[in-house]
Amino acid sequence: MPWYDFQCEDCEHVFEEQLSINDDRSGLICPQCGGKDIQRVFLTVAACVGKNNNSSSSSCSTESSTGG
């Protein structure tokens, strides 16, 4: 089952939950404050593209895949 990132709208705490695609997400509760206003978030990840033979430089980018 995949892991998903969620954020509590009450305290802004970000946490992970392992859910199947068929799981009901409406019952999620913030582990920090007990809030029930939870939104799924999409975090930015670093991605390396191409092949780089020079170990002193990096072709990794931390830009968002949504154009950020």
40-to-32, 33, 34, 52, 58 alpha-carbon distances in Å:
16, 17, 16, 35, 31
Q: What is the pLDDT of residue 44?
A: 76
The domains located in the chain, with CATH, are: 3-50 (2.20.28)
Q: What is the pLDDT of residue 52?
A: 64
Q: What is the pLDDT of residue 54?
A: 58
- Contact of 44 with 62, CB cutoff 8 Å: yes
The burial class, CB within 10 Å (0-12 / 13-18 / 19+), for 62 is exposed
State both tokens at 15.
């946490």
Low-confidence ranges of the chain (pLDDT < 70): 52-68
The β-bridge partners of 3 are 18
